[in-house]
Structure 1
Amino acid sequence: MARVETHQDGAVLTLVNNDPASRNSLVEEVYVGLTDALKAAEADPAVRAVVLTGAGGFFCSGGNIQSLKERVGSDYATRRRNVERLHGLIRTMRNLRLPIIAAVEGGAAGAGASLAAASDLIVASSSSYMSIAYVKIGLTPDGGATVFFGRALPRQLVQEMVWTGDRVPAERLHALGFVNRLAEPGSALADAQAWAAELARGPAQAIARGKALVNNAATASMDEQLDLEASGIADALGGDEAQEGLNAFLEKRPADFTRV
């Protein structure tokens, strides 16, 4: 049984972390499998959006405890190398031109919370939670948790999450804008796939440029960001997507970006 399953429906690719017995914990096979699947999706013109989820009603419990235990006796370089495999996946997610939607059921803990946060959008069951749970086993966060949570949530809440590892309900994260949409329990995946299908019908180049702009905005100066926006829209205005979108608007018809 593959740890990472892929299912394609039209232009939407769903990636499933599949090990319900460990609540879809993270091991090297998952890092490599997800990274490879994402790169293949980006190279496939038939794929225009990605959904990331976990099997068995739970998104991801984070690092596999047994694997972490085995690393305790290894040297620093080995320990660091294992973390970099996770970070390679996170970088791939953020640099991917395709939109990624996380579908969260049950919970997202530790590096599982980082995976959800590294996605572009989050659809979460109203009964689910997230936790930066590392402190409970004497560790500090990785996977970009302090980046993604730290930039999106109040510092005091993030500090509480890092220091206590306590669960934060998805409903609270939704109220704070961190979770985009709440779903009925058991419906997060279907809702995420439906949303992904909508995005897949949109202008792929404009969506990719928009993602890159949002990524850059967190660290760029205003002048740098304005320059990037100016370059982006100038390029876009010379492209087929703008021609289709503007013509459709003026002709009072729905734009069909799937043909450009």
Structure 2
Amino acid sequence: MIETKKEGAVLVVINSAPETRNALTPDFYSGFRELLETAHDDPSVAAIVLTGAGNFFCSGGNVAGLKARTSMNEAERRQGIDKLHGMISAMRACPKPIVAAIEGGAAGAGVSMALACDMIVAAKDAYFSVAYVKIGLTPDGGATAFLARSLPRQLVNELCLTGDRVNVQRLHDLGMINRIVEAGEALDAAEEIAHRLASGPGQSMARIKSLVDAGATNDLETQLDLEAQSMAASFGTPEGAEGIAAFLEKRKANFRPATDDEVGDA
């Protein structure tokens, strides 16, 4: 079940299945993907916060549901995996910044979902667990891609080959977690970040998301060309004009005049 609430220009999305520690389902894959696609073109949404109900972020796939896949043929097995991957791709394609708020822990595909966000806030007692190996499976959801871009190979192997829990403080020290907070404070801290991002230049941030993703795999010359294209385009936007004018006039830039929906929420 997906719950949402709107706070100004920030959309808070809650994976709400606390009885399974918010295990992922095909309905969640499609439902969250639809929310992202709607938010893509909604000017009243400037940032998104993703969290889980019941003081736990996400336990990954429902193991009872996974058991049914063992009797399917390979094409049928791929269908469920492709739905997960479609959701992950939609998260990366969404031009609005997504901030994860993690209480308790993230396991399996829950790790992939957290890493697909643009920033991560975690309670200091939370953990990550890529535990597929413990049930004879291999990671999906982009886990190996995200981890390999964020952590040393030896630690990625430790996570994936042992399936052991890794405390978020260790991941924070290595730069994979943006902020560590006291237990119970992750959502508030994530919303604070999201509101700050929501007041920024949306087109510029969408381009930055795209550049950062491309920069992980592009060679230098290709990336320089993309940066040049993006910078040249940004100079010609109202955001660029406003930002430069505000800097020269020594005032705070107003990148996002409130929409009618936001005025109504106020």
C-alpha distance in 2, partners of 1:228/1:161? 34
**Which ranges in structure 1 are unaligned for 5 or more consecutive residues?**
none
> 1:122 — aligned with what?
120
Q: Which residue of 2 aligns with 1:154?
A: 152
Structure 1 distance, partners of 2:19, 2:148, is 31
What is the percent sequence identity of the aligned residues? 53
Inter-partner Cα distance in structure 1 for 2:97 and 2:11: 11
Alpha-carbon distance in structure 1 between the residues aligned to 2:185 and 2:35: 24
1:108 to 106, 109, 112: 106
What is the alpha-carbon root mean square deviation over aligned residues? 0.8
The CA deviation at 1:143 is: 0.3
**Residue-by-residue CA offset, 1:74-102 (whole Å, 9 max, x unaligned):** 11000011100000000000111000000
1:241 is aligned to 239
2:62 is aligned with what amino acid? N
Match of 1:230 in 2: 228
How far is the alpha carbon of 1:259 from its aligned partner? 2.8
Q: Partner residue of 2:264?
A: none
Does residue 1:214 correspond to 2:202, yes or no?
A: no
- Number of equivalent positions: 258
Shift of residue 12, structure 1, vs aligned partner: 0.2
The answer for the alignment partner of 2:88 in structure 1 is 90
C-alpha separation in 1, matches of 2:13 and 2:131: 24
Provide the secondary structure at the position in 1 that maps to 2:3.
Answer: strand
Q: Deviations over 1:147-176 (max 9, x none)?
A: 001110010010011111001101111000
* Residue 166 (1) aligns with residue 169 (2): no
Q: Give runs of ≥4 in structure 1 deviating > 3 Å.
A: none
Which SS does the other structure have where 1:103 is aligned? strand
Deviation at 1:136, TM superposition (A): 1.1
Pairing 1:76–2:91 present: no
CA distance in 1, matches of 2:2, 2:137: 26
State the match for 2:65 in structure 1.
67
What is the DSSP-based 3-state SS (H/G/I as helix, E as strand, rest coil) of the residue aligned with 1:143? coil
Equivalent residue, structure 1, for 2:10: 12
Q: The residue matched to 2:172 in structure 1 has which SS?
A: helix
User: Which residue does the alignment assign to 1:138?
Assistant: 136
Q: Show CA shifts across 1:193-250 (max 9, x none).
A: 1110000000000000000000111111111100010010001011111111111111
Q: Which amino acid in 1 is paired with 2:50?
A: L
Distance in structure 1 (CA, Å) of the matches to 2:168 and 2:27: 28
1:33 aligns with 2:35: no
The AA in structure 1 aligned to 2:72 is S
State the SS of the aligned residue for 1:102.
strand
Q: Distance in 1 between matches of 2:211 and 2:34?
A: 24
Q: Tell me how far apart the structure 1 counterparts of residues 147 and 31 of structure 2 sit (CA, whole Å).
A: 25
Amino acid corresponding to residue 202 of structure 1 in structure 2: G
Q: TM-score, normalised by structure 2?
A: 0.96
TM-score norm. by structure 1 comes to: 0.98
Distance across 2 between alignment mates of 1:75 and 1:200: 45
C-alpha distance in structure 2 between counterparts of 1:218 and 1:57, whole Å: 33
Q: 1:176 aligns with which of 174, 177, 182?
A: 174
- Give the residue type in structure 2 aligned to 1:72: T
* Distance in 1 separating the partners of 2:164 and 2:127: 10
Q: Residue 55 in 1 paired to residue 63 in 2?
A: no
